Amino acid sequence: MKPSVSEVVSEAIHSVLRDTGRAAGAIEPGMRLAGDVGLDSLDLAQTIVLLERSLGIDPFRSANPATPRPTLRTVSDLVAVYEAALSKP
């Protein structure tokens, strides 16, 4: 069975935290990426690279430069961006 986007996001966050010597408990959708999870901008960038590799999509590239960049404050924001990108034809 293929893991859900939420599971892939959670695993990517755990991987980045492990690689930087930090432990993480359960990753919940409403957790703030910076405040609750403890990701800084470099950690978030590394998480996004892992997600692009795992999911095979870069949801932050748009053919239309006028498209606003999504706001990533919570785990659910990150999940939503990838779910939306994966649902596009």
Number of structural domains found in the chain = 1
Residue 32: predicted pLDDT: 97
* Whole-number pLDDT of residue 62: 64
Pairwise pLDDT comparison (68 vs 29), residue with the higher score: 29
CATH code of the domain in which 69 resides: 1.10.1200.10
Q: Which domain does 27 fall in, by range?
A: 5-87
- Using CA of residue 8, residue 9, residue 14, residue 15, what is the dihedral sign? positive
User: How sure is the predictor about 64, in pLDDT bands with cuts at 50, 70 and 90?
Assistant: low
In the chain, the percentage of residues whose pLDDT exceeds 90 is 71
**Residue whose structure tokens are 């990150």:** 78
Is the predicted pLDDT of residue 37 greater than 70, yes or no?
yes
Band (69; pLDDT cuts 50, 70, 90): confident
